[in-house]
C-alpha cells in the first residue's frame, strides 16, 4: 500500500495514469486515491467523487463532485469511502469485462469461470439433494452475485455422514501404512496439478488475491504430502496395565 500523497510525486505513476486514461482503459480510485488523478490532471470536465476532505482539490482542477457511492465518467471510476467498496468493485468488474470482451485473458474476473451450478451433498460416495431440495447461494464478494449453489443438509444427513466416516476409518486402518502414505502423496500431486483452477475458485468464492489463494492451495498440498511421509514412520510402544495380562498399546 502506498500513500496517495507520496504516489502523486512519482512521475512514473502519473505517466501510467495519464496513459491509461488516454488509452480509454479503466481507471478506478477510491477514498483519498483521487489525489493521484488530480495530480495527473485527468479530471477537468469529469464527474467524480472522493473522500470529503479532498473534494475541494477535485473542484479546483475542474471536476464536478457527485456525492454517490460510485461515479462513472467514461473510463474513470471513483468512490467515496470503504463502505462503498461493494458498488466500487461491481463497477470495476463491469468495466474490466467490457474492456476484455472478446479476448482470452487469464485474469480471473475476465474468464468464464463459474462454480458448479449446484453442489450436492456427497455422502458415502453418492451425490444427493439437500434437505427438501433446499440450496443456498454462494455470493461473490467482488460482485455480490451468486456464483453457485450449495445443498443444505438435514440432521439425518449429518448422522449418515458420521456413520460413513466411522466405517470408512475401519477400512482405512486396514490399508498398510506405506499404501496409505502413497495415496496421500498422490492426492497432493493432484492438488498441485489443479492448483490454478482451485485457486481461481477460492478467489471467486472468498475474494482473496489470486496469489494468496494459490499459495494456500500449495500449502495444503504440502501438508497432505507431509502426512503421507509420516505414515511410513508410524511407531509406538506397549505399556503394562494395572492388572495381570493387561497391556496398553501407544
Which of the 8 DSSP states describes residue 231? G
Q: How far is the C-alpha of 68 from the C-alpha of 64, rounded, in Å? A: 12
Looking at the DSSP assignment, which residues form a beta bridge with residue 30? 79
- Catalytic residue list: 32
Q: How far is the C-alpha of 90 from the C-alpha of 83, rounded, in Å? A: 13
Which of the 8 DSSP states describes residue 175? S
Given a contact cutoff of 8 angstroms between Cβ atoms, the answer to whether 34 and 16 are in contact is no
As given in the structure block, the three cell numbers for residue 193 are: 496439478
Query: What number of other Cβ atoms are within 10 A of residue 176's Cβ?
Result: 9
Dihedral class, residue 147 (left if φ above 0, else alpha if ψ from -120 to 50, else beta): alpha
- Residue 11 burial by Cβ neighbours in a 10 Å radius (0-12, 13-18, 19+): exposed
Amino acid at each position: 500500500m502506498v500513500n496517495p500523497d507520496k504516489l502523486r510525486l512519482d512521475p512514473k505513476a502519473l505517466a501510467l495514469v495519464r496513459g491509461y486514461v488516454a488509452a480509454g482503459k479503466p481507471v478506478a480510485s477510491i477514498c483519498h486515491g483521487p489525489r493521484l488523478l488530480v495530480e495527473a490532471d485527468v479530471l477537468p470536465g469529469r464527474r467524480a467523487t472522493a473522500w470529503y476532505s479532498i473534494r475541494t482539490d477535485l473542484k479546483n482542477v475542474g471536476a464536478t463532485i457527485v456525492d454517490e457511492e460510485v461515479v462513472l465518467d467514461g473510463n474513470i471510476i471513483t468512490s467515496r469511502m470503504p463502505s462503498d467498496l461493494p458498488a466500487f468493485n461491481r463497477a470495476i468488474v463491469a468495466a474490466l469485462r467490457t474492456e476484455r470482451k472478446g479476448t482470452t485473458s487469464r485474469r480471473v474476473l475476465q474468464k468464464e469461470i463459474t462454480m458448479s451450478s449446484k453442489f450436492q451433498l456427497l455422502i458415502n460416495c453418492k451425490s444427493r439433494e439437500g434437505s427438501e431440495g433446499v440450496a443456498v447461494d454462494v455470493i461473490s464478494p467482488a460482485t455480490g452475485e451468486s456464483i453457485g449453489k450449495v445443498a443444505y443438509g438435514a440432521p439425518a444427513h449429518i448422522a449418515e455422514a458420521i456413520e460413513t466416516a466411522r466405517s470408512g476409518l475401519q477400512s482405512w486402518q486396514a490399508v498398510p501404512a506405506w499404501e496409505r502414505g502413497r495415496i496421500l502423496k498422490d492426492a497432493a500431486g493432484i492438488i498441485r496439478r489443479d492448483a490454478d483452477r482451485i485457486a481461481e475458485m477460492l478467489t471467486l468464492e472468498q475474494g482473496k488475491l489470486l496469489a494468496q489463494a494459490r499459495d494456500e492451495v500449495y500449502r495444503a498440498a504440502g501438508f497432505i504430502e507431509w502426512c503421507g511421509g509420516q505414515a511410513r514412520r508410524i511407531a509406538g510402544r506397549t505399556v503394562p496395565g494395572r492388572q495381570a495380562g493387561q497391556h496398553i498399546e501407544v
